[in-house]
């Protein structure tokens, strides 16, 4: 048989649940406070009762000493049990409920006492202070035990001290008054303890609901896990309290929003400035997967209210995805253009083959020259006016796409842009977005045309893109620059409402502006002004062959 396992030792300790711990601690505190208050009350009460007893004894002694008959009898009679001094002292003692009244002469010999056997004997305590004319209050022990005493001098009709009067009040009576007060005091203390225990229970129940009856160790572990999760995830998290102030920012939110940790405790408007991002965080703009532009980043935000009246907002970085989506759109446009060019090239080859078979050689040479000249004229027209290779290649490519979509893309005769841009990629993004929007606006309209004008005024670059589309209503001229707003259906791989806000942000980053107005003759005209877009000194420009090669490669 296996040995019987030893009995498990019972261990007493603090309960694990927050409710139980808080209740136990608060009841213990209430009980301690009740005991302490009772003790602090009893200590002065005892002293107060002692003072009252001594004052009472002194008052009886003063009243007795003021009786002129006692002073006269003390001088002319003997100290006997049946003497007039004893009779008068006993009368006063019975009337005042004193323990004893002792009348003594200057030698300390008793003329009155509760115990008649003590009459004629010297008192047990020294009467020197009273015989010296002083009044005495004290707690002392005598022949009748511990008592509260009052002693006063006894004077004759001439005011001379002939003895003293000592009055005692039994100390047990004082203690009994103190003890009799304790039950009532404990009743009050018990009532206070009961009220404190009830309040502790109610508070503990509230804490239990708010902590979901978790142990302190569980709460500590959850906080540690929350910190690790918040700072480890690749989404920005912004928590706001019920007053709308930021109370938490994780590392990714700091990076995406470009703000420091001093933003905690401030409102989104104060930390971020006025704009769509602050509107989303504060809840002034509602919805799911809301788009916003912060600096050069495209963010997707979602806001969820919390039970305490605050909110938690999450931020995802869609910058790279948005760029990939735009590149995909451009690639698809180029593919469509190449497919159409392939079809057109096949038709031209068939035409050329027919001319050769008909031995119409001169017409064939003329036909080939016209085809090649059209592409060369477009490339030369662009490179002559725009010296920057990136912008020139972009516009040649856009012209090809526009042609395949039945849109005429023109570069204004006033266009002049030297090859000394400080941020050519930023200007490529601006031009690309505006041209794409213009091509979409004029699609399927008669006599569709888009005109691009790029000129400089000192170091300032001015871009205008005009189209012959339906135009934009005046009340929407500012609305179209709002993140997420668009009149077009979004493609499957991304959302619209990003291009124009990004154009304005890029312009503002350079200290410029982006506006729209109605074009002459109908349509829309976008204007972007970029101060100090050009370098002060013209850098070594690229060889013209490089520009022409880049443009020709783009136009193929």
Q: How far apart are CA 281 and CA 278, in angstroms?
A: 5
* Domain at 21-177: CATH code: 3.30.450.20
Q: Indicate left, alpha or beta for 531 from its phi (over 0: left) and psi (-120 to 50: alpha).
A: beta
Task: Check pLDDT > 90 for residue 502.
Answer: no
Position 494 scores a pLDDT of 47
Q: Which CATH superfamily is domain 233-317 in?
A: PAS domain (3.30.450.20)
**In the chain, domain spans:** 21-177, 233-317, 384-555
DSSP-derived letter for residue 234 is: S
Task: Check pLDDT > 90 for residue 464.
Answer: yes
Residue that wins the pLDDT comparison between 340 and 381: 381
CA angle 27–37–30, rounded 5-degree value: 10
Cα–Cα distance list, 518 to 63, 84, 470, 474 (Å):
115, 131, 10, 8
Position 17 scores a pLDDT of 61
Q: How far apart are CA 371 and CA 363, in angstroms?
A: 12
Tell me the average pLDDT across 488-500: 56
Beta bridge partners of 319: none
Which of 363-367, 402-406, 465-469 is modeled with the greatest confidence? Answer: 465-469
Contact 391, 465 (CB under 8 A): no
Contact 478, 472 (CB under 8 A): no
pLDDT tens-digit readout, 1-20: 444 444 444 444 555 566 56
pLDDT classification of 379: cutoffs 50, 70, 90: low
Position 181 scores a pLDDT of 62
Task: Check pLDDT > 80 for residue 283.
Answer: yes
pLDDT classification of 496: cutoffs 50, 70, 90: low
Task: Check pLDDT > 80 for residue 253.
Answer: yes
Position 402 scores a pLDDT of 82
Position 46 scores a pLDDT of 66
Q: Coil, strand, or helix at residue 359? A: coil
Q: Coil, strand, or helix at residue 496? A: coil
Alpha helices in 4-162 (DSSP H): 18-65, 68-76, 84-96, 128-131
Task: Check pLDDT > 50 for residue 555.
Answer: no
- For the chain, the average pLDDT equals 77
Position 327 scores a pLDDT of 60
Q: How far apart are CA 291 and CA 287, in angstroms?
A: 10
Tell me the average pLDDT across 42-53: 72
Position 553 scores a pLDDT of 40
Q: How far apart are CA 436 and CA 486, in angstroms?
A: 14
| Of 331-340, 457-466, 471-480, 511-520, the least confident | 331-340
pLDDT classification of 198: cutoffs 50, 70, 90: confident
Task: Check pLDDT > 90 for residue 467.
Answer: yes
Position 462 scores a pLDDT of 93
Tell me the average pLDDT across 410-437: 87
| Of 193-197, 348-352, 521-525, the least confident | 193-197
pLDDT classification of 483: cutoffs 50, 70, 90: low
CA angle 516–270–267, rounded 5-degree value: 120
Q: Quick one: three-class SS letters along 95-118?
A: HHCCCEEEEEECCCEECCCCCHHH
Q: Report the share of the chain in percent with pLDDT over 90.
A: 7
Task: Check pLDDT > 90 for residue 528.
Answer: yes
| Of 50-64, 234-248, 315-329, 435-449, the least confident | 315-329
Residue that wins the pLDDT comparison between 277 and 44: 277
- What is the DSSP code string of 260-287? -GGGTTS-HHHHH-SSHHHHHHHTSS--
Q: Structure tokens of 60?
A: 């009886």
Task: Check pLDDT > 80 for residue 65.
Answer: yes
Contact 312, 239 (CB under 8 A): yes
Among 433, 338, 335, 425, residue whose Cα is nearest residue 389: 425
Q: How far apart are CA 255 and CA 269, in angstroms?
A: 18
- CB atoms under 10 Å from CB of 74, counted, come to 23
- CB atoms under 10 Å from CB of 157, counted, come to 9
| Of 139-153, 359-373, 530-544, the least confident | 530-544
Contact 279, 484 (CB under 8 A): no
Task: Check pLDDT > 70 for residue 349.
Answer: yes
Q: Structure tokens of 314?
A: 């999450």
pLDDT classification of 337: cutoffs 50, 70, 90: low
Two domains, one topology: 233-317 and 384-555: no
Q: Structure tokens of 530?
A: 């970029």
Contact 246, 240 (CB under 8 A): yes
Among 400, 448, 433, 412, residue whose Cα is nearest residue 526: 433
Position 185 scores a pLDDT of 65
Phi, psi dihedrals of residue 6, rounded to the nearest 5°: -65, 150
pTM: 0.45
Place of tokens 């030297």: 418
Q: How far apart are CA 444 and CA 344, in angstroms?
A: 20
Class of domain 384-555: alpha beta
Task: Check pLDDT > 50 for residue 544.
Answer: no
Contact 390, 553 (CB under 8 A): no
Among 84, 44, 51, residue whose Cα is nearest residue 68: 84
CA angle 181–182–183, rounded 5-degree value: 100
Q: Structure tokens of 488?
A: 């077009």
Which of 49-58, 93-102, 539-548 is modeled with the greatest confidence? Answer: 93-102
Task: Check pLDDT > 50 for residue 70.
Answer: yes
Position 554 scores a pLDDT of 39
Q: How far apart are CA 35 and CA 28, in angstroms?
A: 11
Residue that wins the pLDDT comparison between 82 and 526: 526
Q: How far apart are CA 22 and CA 20, in angstroms?
A: 6
């Amino acid at each position: 048989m296996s040995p019987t396992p030893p009995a498990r030792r019972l261990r007493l300790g603090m309960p694990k649940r927050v409710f139980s711990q808080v209740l136990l601690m608060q009841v213990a505190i209430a009980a301690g406070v009740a005991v302490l208050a009772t003790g602090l009350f009893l200590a002065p009460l005892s002293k107060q009762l002692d003072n009252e007893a001594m004052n009472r004894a002194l008052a009886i002694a003063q009243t007795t000493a003021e009786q002129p008959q006692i002073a006269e009898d003390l001088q002319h009679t003997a100290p006997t049990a049946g003497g007039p001094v004893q009779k008068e002292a006993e009368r006063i003692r019975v009337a005042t409920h004193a323990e004893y009244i002792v009348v003594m002469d200057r030698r300390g010999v008793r003329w009155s006492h509760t115990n008649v056997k003590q009459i004629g004997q010297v008192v047990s305590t020294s009467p020197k202070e009273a015989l010296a004319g002083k009044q005495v209050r004290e707690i002392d022990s005598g022949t009748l035990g511990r008592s509260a005493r009052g002693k006063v001098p006894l004077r004759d009709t001439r005011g001379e001290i002939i003895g003293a009067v000592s009055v005692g009040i039994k100390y047990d009576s004082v203690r009994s008054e103190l003890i009799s007060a304790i039950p009532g005091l404990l009743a009050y203390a018990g009532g206070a303890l009961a009220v404190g225990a009830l309040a502790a229970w109610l508070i503990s129940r509230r804490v239990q609901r708010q902590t979901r009856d978790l142990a302190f160790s569980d709460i500590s572990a959850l906080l540690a896990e929350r910190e690790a999760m918040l700072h480890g995830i690749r989404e920005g998290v912004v928590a706001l309290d019920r007053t709308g102030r930021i109370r938490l920012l994780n590392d990714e939110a700091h990076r995406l929003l470009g703000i420091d940790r001093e933003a905690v405790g401030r409102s989104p408007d104060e930390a971020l400035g006025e704009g769509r991002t602050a509107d989303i965080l504060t809840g002034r703009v509602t919805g799911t997967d809301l788009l916003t532009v912060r600096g050069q980043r495209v963010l997707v935000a979602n806001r969820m209210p919390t039970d305490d009246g605050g909110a938690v907002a999450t931020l995802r970085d869609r910058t790279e995805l948005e760029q990939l989506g735009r590149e995909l759109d451009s690639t698809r446009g180029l593919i469509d253009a190449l497919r159409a060019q392939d079809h057109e090239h096949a038709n031209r080859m068939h035409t050329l083959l027919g001319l050769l078979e008909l031995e119409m050689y001169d017409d064939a040479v003329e036909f080939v020259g016209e085809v090649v000249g059209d592409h060369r004229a477009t490339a030369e027209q662009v490179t002559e006016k725009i010296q920057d290779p990136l912008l020139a290649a972009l516009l040649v490519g856009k012209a090809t796409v526009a042609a395949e979509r039945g849109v005429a893309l023109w570069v204004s005769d006033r266009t002049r842009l030297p090859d000394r841009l400080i941020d050519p990629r930023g200007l490529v993004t601006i031009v690309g977005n505006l041209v794409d929007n213009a091509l979409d606006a004029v699609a399927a309209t008669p006599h569709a045309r888009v005109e691009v004008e790029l000129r400089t005024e000192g170091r300032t670059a001015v871009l205008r893109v005009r189209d012959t589309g339906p135009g934009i209503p005046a009340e929407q001229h500012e609305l179209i620059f709002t993140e997420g707003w668009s009149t077009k259906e979004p493609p499957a791989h991304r959302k619209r409402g990003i291009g124009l806000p990004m154009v304005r942000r890029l312009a503002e980053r350079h200290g410029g502006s982006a506006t729209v107005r109605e074009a002459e003759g109908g349509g829309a005209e976008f204007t972007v002004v970029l101060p100090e877009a050009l370098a002060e000194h013209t850098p070594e420009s690229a060889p013209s062959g490089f520009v022409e090669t880049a443009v020709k490669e783009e136009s193929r």
